[in-house]
Structure 1
Amino acid sequence: MDYVKDFIKSAREVVSKVGGEVYLVGGYIRDRLIGITAQPKDIDFIFNGNIEKFMEELENRQYKFFPIKQEIGIYRCMLGNNSIDISLMEGDSIEEDLKNRDFTMNAIAIKLSGDKVKVIDPFYGRRSIDNRIIKNVTDMSLENDPIRILRGVRFHISYGMHFNLDTEKCIEKLGYRIMDMPMERVFKEFMLILEKDNQGKAFEVLDNYGILKNIIPYIEELKTIGKCAYHIEDVFTHMNLTYCVFKDILNGKVSVEGLNLHVFQDKIGEFKLREYMSLACFLHDIGKYEAYRKDGDKVSFWGHEMKGAIIARNFCRNMKFPKKAQSYIENIVDGHMYPLKIFKQNSKDKKNDFYKFFSKYDGYIIEILTAAYCDNYATRMLLDVENEKVRFKMFIEEMLKEYELYCSISEDKILNGNDVIQILNISGPEVKNVLEDVTRFRYLGKIQTREEALNYLKVKINNNYI
């Protein structure tokens, strides 16, 4: 069912009955001119006339509108997951209304009322689209709403279009004002950029236009440090490469056996985990500037993951990320070095090291292992004298298998709290500790069955556990 065509037909019939003017505007027109034929999630209309009568007649046709901003005449109708927005015309003409739009490619209208459908393009938006140019409608377009800069970057990334020189100058001039805008809007536009960025260009583009340093702390400082025994590149370059590796994993250009990409399809709020994960991959070394130490020729970043977790948490909190997303990103940044440390230790008792890692970061393990792999891949694609990239990939794949085992054991309870209470005569946190011990011994292969677990409890009694 084409809800767009159905509504346009109804809108034309209603406006011919109640009078007024109705125009189709916005992204629907832009996308069709660009060549995107997918069904849009939302469409926008401008109405000039008695909007109450217009709404009343539409309601008779089963279109239920509700006010979004009634004081300025903006209404919405939800059709499943799709939405239709109708706004009262601003100014005395459609041309005056379109003048308030952000970019010329979005300042095109189609008049639906009257005998003939008419395209209205006072700012040559079709020419901009043909020339692959993102051009602000007026000099005040970005001045009045700097958030539009982020929208422009999204269009640049999504459509492969480029800003014209005048718009670039406006962006360079006004980029610092983005963070003065409501954080909820900044968050949404920032995340939409990551959502649309399939090629891993987002942070490079944001940086090239001088925008990124206004959004994320320490960007300029991180460009000045990083070269050490493990890196030939600066920290910012490495962070960006790590982000690109994750995008390559999502695109199938890089594969990791046992990594289930479906986990990144879950959502926190309106965005998928893949977007939050993308950001976590970029932010993984954000703490290196604060952790930077130099002793003679020796450079170190000890504890950068802990400092980075704090910086990431504060950044996400300031940007009004959902609390669950804040915790998600913080834990990934905090834990991203853990797998590499186990790998470097090469302990004979690595199963015990695995268990400590799994129990500490349970709920974020797949993400941390992915971030650790992307981090190492980004490092070793530039400097890998000992073939570590291949060996570490095998290690991550091993850890993914071990985590599957850990999860299956954790979910398959062979003892419960009542068993522990009855046999050991204890209560409270001690019960949980005993059950965790049983899980650990099962993972390590020291306990296989319920009978062996019960015997373990009896041994505790004999050893004067209580």
Structure 2
Amino acid sequence: MRSVADSLSFLADLAGRPPISVLAEAFHAAGHDLALVGGPVRDAFLGRAVHDLDLTTDATPDEILRIVKPLADAHWDIGRAYGTIGARIGGETVEITTYRSDVYDQASRKPSVEFGTSLEADLLRRDFTVNALALKLPELVLVDPSGGMDDLLAGVLRTPSTPEVSFGDDPLRMLRAVRFTAQLGFTVDDETRFALDEMAGRIEIISAERVNEELSKLLLSPAPRRGIELLVESGLAAFVLPEIPALSLEMDEHHHHKDVYQHSLTVLDQAIDLERSRQFDGAPDLVLRLAALLHDIGKPATRRLEPGGVVSFHHHDLVGSKLAKKRLKALRFDNDTIAAVSRLIELHLRFFGYTDGAWTDSAVRRYVRDAGPLLERLHILVRADVTTRNVRKADRLSFAYDDLEARIAELASQEELDSTRPDLNGEQIMAILGLAPGREVGEAYRFLLELRLEEGPLGEEEATRRLLAWASARPA
């Protein structure tokens, strides 16, 4: 966190650079207020990088457009109904919003937008005091009507109005509180925490798309575990991601197993650590993190108490894959994300058969073939799934996976394993067998693919001989 003096110096420098300085002069000349507001001001004090340039003004959307048009390379008014005009000026993107004093219908997902005339009133309607900070331009005056600076220094999340009013106005703010605990490392004050517990059910009126956005931002934060724990403890998870609290399985004195909920959080932590060390671009991977968090959600439905105090979860990988697909679809995730996450969950147990005995080259090829473009993510997920405290067991599993990756690399260098295909393509099959496009061609292709996986590259001549022998042995 920057010192107050350094933060104010940073903000002054930011305000002196285009496009902020250009806009400040233009709005001042037009007789309107302008202030840098919310996240950029907060992050300047926290020492975080400032990406979004959010501004607020007493000018109406029409007046904003009149001021901005001569200065902008491009502008858009997609948020005009909510008072927001976007523009690109000198290569930088800014959003400028008219002061608001929204009125919410308690049964509605959306506010009735009303424009305001006061910066202080606009700040008091925001979600948390640490986001209710503004820097007036061009005079560089810090405006803090709700004690946001004190909360920023203390690392506390508190609402400017009572949390009951704030969360009643917009229940999504409850998920934002959860996200900020992970993203900023803050704690929620007692009054706000009590309101989270009491009002969790109100989240049901929020659209799945908005919930999706907040959950994704939470998972993409540097350390999401803290936020997920609050999500579960407050009761919010029961409404937006009920599979996670369900992982806290009941234990009894005769049947013992590890805490699946805590195990899943640890797998998420370990997957993030491996993601940072193994992924080249360094960007947070939403697909991987979703798969790590959800990989065991099939366990509650498959839990069986066996003789001798053993607890089994047979086929929880397949059940979990289906449950993840259903939940992510309900949360309006895109089809590619849903398919990738559910496939990783389906495959996450496949490796553990490797430790029972050496896999054939065929089995290694199938592992790679089934993972496809998800192979690196599967490597990370499988390694992260080892949370045992038994050092010898953990080392044995780690060495076994090292061996598997080495064999994959060796086979890949020999066979172009990532793009495993039969030695003959569809057109060649049709020409050799005299077939038209249809089911028989697909069957022949699958026969050759199985040969490729079992025996490696055969070459066109040998593949043709095998194909003809296969076709002649089939019933007419």
Q: TM-score, normalised by structure 1?
A: 0.84
Partner of 1:67: 77
Partner of 2:400: 392
- Following superposition, the deviation at residue 102 of structure 1 comes to 0.6
Is 1:236 the counterpart of 2:261 in the alignment?
yes
- Following superposition, the deviation at residue 340 of structure 1 comes to 1.5
Tell me which of 327, 333, 356 is aligned to 1:315. Answer: 327
Identical aligned residues as a percent: 22
- Return the letter of the residue paired with 2:310: K
| Structure 1 residues 211-290: aligned runs within 5 Å | 211-225=236-250, 232-252=257-277, 261-262=279-280, 274-290=285-301
Change (3 A) 1:455 1:2: farther
CA distance in 1, matches of 2:379, 2:191: 44
Secondary structure (helix, strand or coil) at the match of 1:20 reads coil
Contact 2:85 2:97 in 1 (8 A): yes
Contact 2:366 2:453 in 1 (8 A): no
CA distance in 2, matches of 1:214, 1:383: 38
- Following superposition, the deviation at residue 241 of structure 1 comes to 1.6
CA distance in 1, matches of 2:235, 2:90: 40
Partner of 1:268: none
CA distance in 1, matches of 2:313, 2:253: 10
- Following superposition, the deviation at residue 235 of structure 1 comes to 1.3
- Return the letter of the residue paired with 2:439: P
- Following superposition, the deviation at residue 185 of structure 1 comes to 0.7
- Return the letter of the residue paired with 2:173: R
CA distance in 1, matches of 2:125, 2:418: 60
Change (3 A) 1:264 1:22: closer
| Structure 1 residues 67-466: aligned runs within 5 Å | 67-78=77-88, 83-90=93-100, 91-112=116-137, 116-139=139-162, 140-198=165-223, 200-225=225-250, 232-252=257-277, 261-262=279-280, 274-296=285-307, 297-344=309-356, 346=357, 350-375=360-385, 377-378=386-387, 380-382=388-390, 387-398=395-406, 400-401=408-409, 404=412, 408=417, 410=419, 414-427=423-436, 428-445=438-455, 447-460=457-470, 463=473
- Return the letter of the residue paired with 1:305: D
Secondary structure (helix, strand or coil) at the match of 2:77 reads strand
Change (3 A) 1:365 1:228: farther
Partner of 1:56: 66
Q: Compare 456-465 and 54-63 and name the one that shifted more.
A: 456-465
- Following superposition, the deviation at residue 146 of structure 1 comes to 2.0
- Following superposition, the deviation at residue 20 of structure 1 comes to 1.8
Contact 1:123 1:137 in 2 (8 A): yes
CA distance in 1, matches of 2:239, 2:321: 19
CA distance in 2, matches of 1:218, 1:278: 15
Change (3 A) 1:356 1:147: same
Is 1:9 the counterpart of 2:21 in the alignment?
yes
Q: 1:272-292: CA deviations, max 9, x gaps?
A: 6x1121111111110111111
Contact 2:423 2:460 in 1 (8 A): yes
Q: 1:89-133: CA deviations, max 9, x gaps?
A: 1233111111110111111112215xx332211111111111222
Partner of 1:269: none
Secondary structure (helix, strand or coil) at the match of 1:46 reads strand
Contact 2:83 2:98 in 1 (8 A): yes
Contact 1:150 1:189 in 2 (8 A): yes
Change (3 A) 1:299 1:336: same
Contact 1:373 1:396 in 2 (8 A): no
Q: Compare 140-149 and 315-324 and name the one that shifted more.
A: 140-149
CA distance in 2, matches of 1:194, 1:174: 23
- Return the letter of the residue paired with 1:292: R
CA distance in 2, matches of 1:31, 1:182: 28
- Return the letter of the residue paired with 2:400: F
Partner of 1:255: none
- Following superposition, the deviation at residue 355 of structure 1 comes to 3.8
CA distance in 2, matches of 1:337, 1:463: 37
Secondary structure (helix, strand or coil) at the match of 1:250 reads helix
Contact 1:226 1:235 in 2 (8 A): no
Change (3 A) 1:155 1:138: same
